[in-house]
Structure 1
Amino acid sequence: MQEWYMPMQRNKLMAQTITVTGRGTVTAKPDTVIITLGVRTEHANVQEALAENAKRANAVIHALKAIGVSDEDIDTASFSIYPKYNYSNGTNTLTGYEVEHIFDIIVKDTKKVGNIYDTTVTSGANIARHIQFRLANEQPYYQQALMLAVKNAKEKAIVIARTLGLPMQDIPLQIKEESRAASFPPAPYSMTTLAESSTAPPIQTQDITITATVQAVFSY
């Protein structure tokens, strides 16, 4: 019986069936923010550039810890040393070095983002690269979107069946999860050099959109 069942099932999917795509969307407020910022220093001597960078970077880390940011939420994203040249009369002349130390800072309270910027700039940070809004646990929202996608697929199939006067079955013969996606709001900062002094910037969070898509096959 099992050897014959699958071919019969495939034939059933090919004839007397309705195939639809369902989509479900859920929006949620972000509960986690990842800030990418850092320290850039320049000096004619590479050791001086490194020393100054280390001093300012350590001051930034110390200030972050003082306002409650843990070690686990401060990661080095990149550390770079760039030679600087002056091009004149067809000749490149080494003029100094630029050192960058970039951090990813995980902020678990979105209301503290502005204060994080203010604290780091006051302590020596002078580069802002990115700000990312995230959900600590996206799964419950995706499951809700998936439920809505299945419901949407069934509603579409019912409309088609009723329009054509077909006796559609309620339970799908086949259902396939096609894709999942989360749309994150754009970052208000990107590749920006921060001023040496600053007040806390007003960071406005935007909703995150979670989308699920399924394909369902119903018989009639």
Structure 2
Amino acid sequence: MNTWIGRLVASVVVIGTAIYLLMRFGPGIPVSSVVTQKQEMFSVSGEGKVTAVPDTGIVSLGITINRPTVKAAQTEVNTKINSITNELKNSGIAPKDIKTENYSVYPEYDYLQGPGRITGYRVTTDIKVTVRQLEKLNEVIDKATAAGANTVSGIQLTVEENRQKELVQEAREEAVKEAKAKAESLASAAGITLGKIINIQENVPGAPVPLMMLDSAAKEGRGGGSATDIQPGSTDIYSTVTLFYETR
């Protein structure tokens, strides 16, 4: 019994001694550590602008007819709208670019003699026409008014959708180029060393703002015989980006 206890005590002493010697003189045990370094950030913005000539025209053509009966007014409006539509198609306007936007029927009242008395009916319709060959816009308006349109309004000059995307990309590239150049110049002047770009923000540009033309009366309304003359001018597309750099 005493022999067994003596052996156990001796074993504990040996193991304890071994652990002590290992900790005292053995290789260090690696300990994981996380070092947090505060990164300074530097940001700068740049703007890009691209100027383009509009290539698409949008116009609203209207017809208003007053007649004693609804049927008479509707019949005349429908006849004129069919005539206008045929002229548009003959000018190369695709059916998908001719859209009815309004069709309304209103009674006309006479209030001069007592309670309002219906004297007739007014029928109005408007069609929105997209002219994808802008050079034909003047011709389209002239032919439409000759065919019966008595109001011309909402003329917009803009850039075709796919072309818009290309122009926005060009403006974006110009904005990034300007921002990088500005960052390098400012950092050099301030004695800052730029690291990598860690974030980019863009003020998402919308479609180019259409050039709005003044509404005009149709030829029969202004008693004129002169041809329509609408000039396209130009439109600007913008993009603004902000670059965020690490600094060293």
Pairing 1:139-154 to 2, within 5 Å after superposition: 139-154=165-180
Measured after TM superposition, the shift of residue 91 of structure 1 is 3.5
Measured after TM superposition, the shift of residue 89 of structure 1 is 6.8
Measured after TM superposition, the shift of residue 211 of structure 1 is 0.9
Gaps of at least 5 residues in structure 2 are 1-33
Distance 2:110 2:154 in 1: 30
Aligned residue pair count: 208
After superposition, the Cα gap between the structure-2 partners of 1:182 and 1:27, relative to the gap in structure 1 and judged at 3 Å, is farther
> Does structure 1 residue 37 correspond to structure 2 residue 37?
no
Pairing 1:175-190 to 2, within 5 Å after superposition: 175-190=200-215
Q: 2:193: which partner in 1? A: 167
TM-score by length of 1: 0.85
Q: 1:217: which partner in 2? A: 244
Give the counterpart of 2:105 among 50, 72, 81: 81
Note the alpha carbon deviations across 1:88-146, whole angstroms, 9 max, x for none: 47743333222111111121211111111110111111111211122221111111111
- Tell me the secondary structure at the aligned position of residue 128 of structure 1: strand
Q: Retained in 2: the 8 A contact 1:31–1:135?
A: yes
Distance 1:89 1:79 in 2: 30
Computed over aligned residues only, the root mean square deviation of the Cα atoms, in angstroms, reads 2.2
Measured after TM superposition, the shift of residue 41 of structure 1 is 0.8
Q: Retained in 2: the 8 A contact 1:29–1:207?
A: yes
Q: 1:69: which partner in 2? A: 93
- Tell me the secondary structure at the aligned position of residue 176 of structure 1: strand
- Structure richer in strand, relative to its length: 1
Measured after TM superposition, the shift of residue 49 of structure 1 is 0.9
Q: Retained in 1: the 8 A contact 2:156–2:213?
A: no
Distance 2:182 2:239 in 1: 16
TM-score by length of 2: 0.76
Q: 1:50: which partner in 2? A: 74
Measured after TM superposition, the shift of residue 198 of structure 1 is 3.9
- Tell me the secondary structure at the aligned position of residue 192 of structure 2: coil
Whose radius of gyration is greater, 1 or 2? Answer: 2
Q: Retained in 2: the 8 A contact 1:182–1:209?
A: no
Identity of aligned residues (%): 31
